[in-house]
């Protein structure tokens, strides 16, 4: 089969699965026998099963699907069988634009010689059957523009030779499985569904030349790993997906890309200077986002650029080379609805611009990854708190509160190590959280006032010394208050107490751990 070719402006044109009951071994054997007998009498049971699964065929597309000459059926193309050259096998089933309505029967999986299955622009609904994974020669699968529903049809990932996957314009929902981008597909079209839960990090592992995810509900950020797809990625369209965050600088590594479309999202920050590396890009669409700053010269002087849109953002200026594109690109440059004032036509007013322009997002202040795995003397929590402690100015430490989720409820030695961190960094307010309680340290250096949020906290609470006994602890606001009381392990500690006031006060000559129950808000 020859190489696939795709038109440049994908945005214009490219802009179930419910759990299927698999065939039992008995059913498959019966169908296989029926297929063998049918071939001996020059019939094809799969085509007949598909015809029987249709409940509407207004154009009579399957009208000639009768008689022994299966290869003469509309949409059917045959070649010698890979398993027996004396017999014909259906290699292609092309039902594009037949306008039929129905469902895919599980017998479709018996068409093991089929290389191309085109079902585009029909009214197929329901599920894509699990048996499709048995189509061992299937190379192209186009089920676009139908009425399939449910989560991503995972069965297609089991088709061993699949290279072209097109399920756009359906009603699939839920997350895109990370495994999708680990398959050796050449083209992936998922646009115009209802996929959610972000773009998988594995997109950088893809070797596809075309990836179209437009018009879904993905949300989240564009993974930085996308730069790893530079060797093969030619065209990608992420339009209208509620994507947030900054454009990863790694997108500048996509030197083979000809179509770069992230329009219609909520992306912020400045345009990365690394996009100057997009030496082959012909269509660059950054419109309808929340980008700020300037439109740099390098972007407007990309050597292969034929169409550039930065409209409907919050750019405050653009290089003169960009303005010159108005004349050189014959209406293929768009910069309206930005914040460039009188220097460019059709700009936003000050009321729209000021709230965004005065609070720009600095994309250079991302998270830095620091590898401390070589240090086995401290726990991961210790390393994290140590980093925070080191980077927080001394005068700000008293305002800092660090919440540590999942710190309680597991192995006791892990819990003890986490509690030890409270003592090691006693000048910081660190709160350890589990599903049903919290723990924090009350250093002896202060008289503590604890304001109880009764809708979330309490009523059960406790106070106990760890590391050293207390010879003098006094509290207010508890059912059983302490008055200059002594506490130590092996003697009295305050457990199973009850909060009776919105404010609890604690003063002690020793460091104490305070714990209080959390309400289940589910």
- How many Cα atoms are found within 13 Å in the side-chain-facing hemisphere of 438? 21
Residues 404 and 435: their CA atoms lie apart, in Å, by: 12
Question: Whole-number mean pLDDT of the chain?
Answer: 85
- Is residue 14 within 8 A of residue 283, CB to CB? The reply is no
- Is residue 294 within 8 A of residue 321, CB to CB? The reply is no
- Is residue 292 within 8 A of residue 356, CB to CB? The reply is yes
pLDDT interval class at 374 (50, 70, 90): low
**Predicted local confidence at residue 380, as pLDDT:** 85
Pairing of strands 512-518, 503-508: unpaired
Q: Is 80 exceeded by the pLDDT of residue 37?
A: no
- Is residue 112 within 8 A of residue 131, CB to CB? The reply is no
116-150 pLDDT per residue, tens: 999 999 999 998 999 999 999 999 999 999 999 99
Residues 45 and 24: their CA atoms lie apart, in Å, by: 18
pLDDT interval class at 51 (50, 70, 90): confident
413-459 pLDDT per residue, tens: 888 999 999 999 888 889 999 888 999 999 998 899 999 888 889 89
**Predicted local confidence at residue 2, as pLDDT:** 39
What residues contact residue 96 under an 8 Å CB cut-off, 6+ apart?
118, 119, 120, 121, 142
Q: Is 50 exceeded by the pLDDT of residue 204?
A: yes
Q: What phi and psi, each to the nearest 5 degrees, are found at residue 174?
A: 80, -170
**Predicted local confidence at residue 173, as pLDDT:** 94
Q: Is 70 exceeded by the pLDDT of residue 7?
A: no
**Predicted local confidence at residue 395, as pLDDT:** 72
User: pLDDT above 70 covers what percent of the chain?
Assistant: 87
The arithmetic mean of pLDDT across residues 400-405, rounded, is 87
Q: Please count the residues of the chain.
A: 522
C-alpha distances in Å from residue 384, one per residue of 370, 371, 416, 420, 473: 10, 11, 17, 14, 32
**Predicted local confidence at residue 427, as pLDDT:** 85
Burial class (CB in 10 A: 0-12, 13-18, 19+), 260: buried
User: CA gyration radius for the chain?
Assistant: 32
- CATH no., domain 39-358: 3.80.10.10
**Predicted local confidence at residue 8, as pLDDT:** 36
User: Beta-strand (E) ranges in 105-199?
Assistant: 116-118, 123-126, 140-142, 147-151, 164-166, 171-175, 187-189, 194-196
- How many Cα atoms are found within 13 Å in the side-chain-facing hemisphere of 321? 12
The DSSP output letter for 246 is B
Residues 326 and 318: their CA atoms lie apart, in Å, by: 12
210-263 pLDDT per residue, tens: 999 999 999 999 999 999 999 999 999 999 999 999 999 999 999 999 999 999
User: Beta-strand (E) ranges in 132-251?
Assistant: 140-142, 147-151, 164-166, 171-175, 187-189, 194-196, 210-212, 235-237
- Is residue 113 within 8 A of residue 81, CB to CB? The reply is yes
Lowest mean pLDDT among 170-184, 284-298, 398-412: 398-412
In this structure, what token pair is assigned to residue 394?
A: 């001394």
Q: Order of strands, edge to edge, in the sheet holding 210-212?
A: 76-80, 88-94, 116-118, 140-142, 164-166, 187-189, 210-212, 235-237, 259-261, 283-285, 307-309, 333-334
């Amino acid at each position: 089969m020859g190489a696939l070719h795709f038109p440049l402006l994908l945005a214009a044109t490219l802009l179930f699965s419910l759990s299927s009951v698999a065939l039992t071994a008995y059913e498959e054997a019966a169908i296989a026998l029926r297929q063998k007998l049918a071939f001996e009498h020059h019939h094809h049971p799969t085509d007949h099963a598909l015809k029987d699964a249709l409940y509407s065929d207004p154009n009579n597309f399957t009208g000639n699907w009768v008689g022994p000459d299966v290869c003469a059926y509309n949409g059917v193309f045959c070649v010698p069988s890979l398993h027996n050259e004396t017999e014909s096998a259906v290699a292609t089933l092309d039902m594009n634009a037949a306008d039929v309505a129905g469902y895919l029967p599980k017998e479709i999986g018996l068409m093991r010689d089929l290389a191309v299955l085109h079902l585009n622009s029909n009214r197929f609904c329901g599920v894509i059957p699990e048996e499709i994974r048995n189509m061992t020669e299937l190379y192209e699968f186009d089920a676009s523009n139908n009425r399939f529903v449910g989560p991503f049809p995972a069965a297609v990932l089991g088709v061993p030779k699949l290279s072209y996957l097109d399920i756009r314009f359906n009603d699939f929902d839920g997350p895109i499985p990370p495994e999708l981008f680990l398959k050796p597909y050449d083209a992936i079209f998922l646009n115009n569904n209802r996929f959610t839960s972000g773009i998988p990090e594995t997109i950088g592992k893809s070797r596809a030349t075309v990836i179209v995810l437009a018009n879904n509900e993905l949300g989240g950020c564009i993974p930085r790993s996308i730069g790893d797809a530079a060797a093969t990625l030619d065209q990608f369209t992420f339009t209208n997906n509620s994507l947030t965050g900054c454009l990863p600088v790694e997108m500048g590594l996509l030197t083979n890309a000809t179509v770069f479309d992230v329009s219609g999202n909520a992306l912020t920050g400045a345009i990365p200077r690394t996009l100057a590396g997009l030496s082959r890009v012909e269509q660059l669409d950054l419109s309808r986002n929340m980008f700020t700053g300037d439109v740099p010269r390098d972007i407007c002087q990309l050597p292969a650029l034929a169409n550039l849109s930065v409209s409907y953002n919050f750019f405050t200026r653009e290089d003169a080379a960009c303005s010159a594109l108005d004349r050189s690109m014959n209406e293929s440059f768009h910069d309206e609805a930005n914040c460039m004032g009188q220097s460019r036509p059709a700009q936003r007013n000050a009321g729209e611009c000021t709230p965004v322009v005065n609070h720009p997002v600095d994309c250079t202040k991302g998270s830095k990854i620091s590898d401390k795995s070589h240090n086995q003397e401290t726990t991961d929590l210790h390393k994290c708190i140590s980093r925070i402690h080191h980077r927080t100015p001394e005068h700000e430490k008293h305002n800092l509160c660090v919440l540590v989720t999942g710190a309680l409820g597991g192995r006791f030695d892990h819990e003890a190590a986490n509690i030890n961190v409270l003592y090691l960094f006693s000048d910081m307010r660190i709160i350890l959280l589990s599903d049903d309680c919290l723990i924090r340290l009350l250093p002896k250096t202060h008289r503590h006032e604890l304001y109880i949020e009764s809708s979330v906290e309490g009523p059960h609470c406790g106070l106990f010394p760890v590391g050293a006994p207390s010879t003098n602890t006094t509290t207010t606001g508890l059912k059983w208050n302490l008055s200059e009381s002594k506490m130590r392990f092996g003697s009295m500690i305050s457990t199973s107490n009850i909060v009776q006031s919105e404010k609890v006060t604690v003063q002690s000559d020793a460091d104490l751990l305070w714990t209080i129950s959390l309400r289940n808000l589910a």
